[in-house]
Structure 1
């Protein structure tokens, strides 16, 4: 009975043209049912990050002290469970990056399909379920992704063999006219379009490719029909609902009540340990960054203070030189033309002792100035 409930995870596949709202609907379904949102770019990025982590851990093993030996053995066990050691991880990582570089950032199906299949087989997806967002796109991709290996249980019917644990049980195909989709994209805010596939040229190319892949009898929708997992078609053009709320409600009504049974104790322990490790690493990194920032700020303040002092000294020196330069002609003029007459006037004032010495001295200087010629 426990195993019965264990495999009751909810698995949903959303199919449809670009601009139909697949990602928005998938996000709402994941939020409502507590499922995992499977997007191809995220799966690829996560896998590459995990490979880089494995390589980095392996490189650090030789530098770990004896006091951390138990932790190292545990980490090595984790790597072995993933079936990859440093060499294997590095080799696969190089292949993925080389293939993406060769295909202008895209990854070939020979690499994408195993990555997605491993993701669907992971314990979180098997226990809780997932929503596949627009992938697979073709019949061949679907057949390869959900195919069952030879050593797994065969189905008794004549339908194609498929992996029941990872294959979606609900398939929803969104439909809409090209005119409707184009108008929807045109009316999107500029900020929502920038940096996405919804620029005019990219959107039209993606829409054309989707139509080409869904015009013959061997489409991804036909594949699920062959498995008797009959897709439910929803015309998004019927609903005047840019946020697709009515469509989400319709899908929820078809699926039924949530069946999420949460994580296992082992998964919870792993996630808690990872969260604790990440928190410690983040705190240490933040502390180091803060200390470095404070040191840089202190050094900058000291440098600014020293520079300011030098600047002030230079300003004072220039002011002194300017004052001296400006005062020299005036001093020379006074010594040559004013001081001799002034001294004579003062002496004469002392001799005569007039009632108004200031007026006397002013008149004396006026009459005896060497620059004034009297008639």
Structure 2
């Protein structure tokens, strides 16, 4: 450090947690009021954070030693939030997933947590570098005085189910995946009044009043940073083209919500009958819940249906995850009622073209038109079994009337496709020409256009289900392997027994052959021993005595001569 040619700045970003936890050793103390920054900095850090204390002392010692050119600053920052979240990510995630009816608050939730947005913390560091002056010790927190429960409630109200339930700190580790150190941070209770930031640092605050007051912006930052953007798809097309099947596959792939008029009205009727709602215009439909759905739907005006659909599209699951509209729309006016903003559409002046206003939160981003020839659709419906037609509401007369209506509406002065075209929402036309029940080609085109899913991984329930299926698969494979091994061993044992029998039979056959050959050779051997061998033996004995030059010729003459004598 003595070799520095110019002034250097060293900024240590610490945390308020070590000093905020000091009072946790004194449970009998009365709750503190708001304390000043000077009083807070005089506190000794909690013993478990001894390394923090030593590091802070080291920075101060090095920067205060003689005529050093090193200038040190210590920033004790509140718990950070924003830009995807860190410590508070669990509460954002569980709220966004909407898989539980209540978001947990670990502990009593009455403790005050000092916080600061990461952008504002970055500004504090930048200002210190620019100014190169001011106090050595700075507390970086925003002006909020929010409790843990208020923070989680704000997250749940805007992003999640809205309700809370109290849970233990042990559950935070066991169920929430927090570490003991993170639980300590969530447990601090401190209301801190800062002065240095306002007196010396002129910040362009992102969230001066804290997370709770700026929760809408914080949640949008969270979604943008983690790419948790809703996938909003609309499927159009004639009856029997396969919209419902494709919609179900898209919902499974992208983990979004399937929305059809039938399902939405059923859900609304069920909710109203259960809640005893007194809202006008729907009582008759709610009272008719046991009737046929078409009869219930017939009691609702087009405006009432559009109100129900808008309510569904504005629900948190749809706004968080997205949706697939399955044959929901038929006309330009329907789309206008459901998706338009409160402002009326402006007529095109002819000189300038203005995009009509529409609700960007509920209007689909991707519109796919599935189409097929009338002959293809008629053959498909004719090929359906009677049960299948009933389930899909495809009796022949109804199918023909729906097909004719779709073709007529597509030739209207203002079509449904015009609504999206005027709002610069591009329509993708996909031809359905094969009876591929899996709609492989259609799904490939749609997923290529929409892109890969950008969601969280599997939920604990889905992970458990996958583990169960994997265990079942392994058990099935093990059982099949054991069965194959058993069959193989049985086959080998059978083959070994057959081979043994074959060897025994072969031995018997060879022995019988030998006995037969022996029996056949006995007369010949006796004949040779009696009539041939004596003469040959005598001739060979004489040959050995005389030792002629040509023994073979000698043997022949000897045998011939002996034969003539006899």
TM over 0.5: yes
Q: Does 1:88 align with 2:279?
A: yes
Partner residue, 2:257: 36
Deviation digits for residues 26-50 of structure 1 (CA, Å, limit 9, x no counterpart): 0000000000000111100100111
Partner residue, 2:302: 109
Q: Segments of 4+ in structure 1 off by > 4 A?
A: 95-98
Deviation digits for residues 296-341 of structure 1 (CA, Å, limit 9, x no counterpart): xxxxxxxxxxxxxxxxxxxxxxxxxxxxxxxxxxxxxxxxxxxxxx
User: Per residue, is there more strand in 1 or in 2?
Assistant: 2
1:14, 1:133 within 8 Å by CA — same for their partners in 2? yes
**1:195 CA drift (Å):** 4.5
Structure 1 distance, partners of 2:256, 2:402, is 27
Find the partner of 2:442 among 240, 244, 247.
247
Alignment of 1:292-311 (within 5 A): none
Deviation digits for residues 226-267 of structure 1 (CA, Å, limit 9, x no counterpart): 010010000102x4423312211211111101023599xxxx
Q: Does 1:231 align with 2:427?
A: yes
Distance 1:212 1:50, change over 3 A: same
User: Per residue, is there more helix in 1 or in 2?
Assistant: 1
Partner residue, 1:207: 403
Structure 1 distance, partners of 2:389, 2:282, is 34
Structure 2: gaps of 5 or more residues = 1-82, 84-218, 345-352, 462-566
Q: Does 1:121 align with 2:314?
A: yes
1:127, 1:262 within 8 Å by CA — same for their partners in 2? no
Deviation digits for residues 142-177 of structure 1 (CA, Å, limit 9, x no counterpart): 0110011249xxxxx811110001110000001111
Structure 1 distance, partners of 2:263, 2:423, is 28
1:36, 1:129 within 8 Å by CA — same for their partners in 2? yes
Alignment of 1:26-175 (within 5 A): 26-55=247-276, 86-88=277-279, 92-94=282-284, 104-105=295-296, 106=298, 107-150=300-343, 158-175=354-371
Structure 1 distance, partners of 2:330, 2:455, is 27
Higher RCO (Cα < 8 Å, 6 or more apart): 1
Partner residue, 1:360: none
2:370, 2:432 within 8 Å by CA — same for their partners in 1? yes
Which of the pair has more CA radius of gyration?
A: 2
Q: What is the number of residues matched between the two proteins?
A: 229
**1:141 CA drift (Å):** 0.3
Structure 2 distance, partners of 1:220, 1:141, is 8
- Farther off after superposition, 22-31 or 198-207: 198-207
Partner residue, 2:392: 196
Q: Does 1:20 align with 2:241?
A: yes
Partner residue, 1:280: none
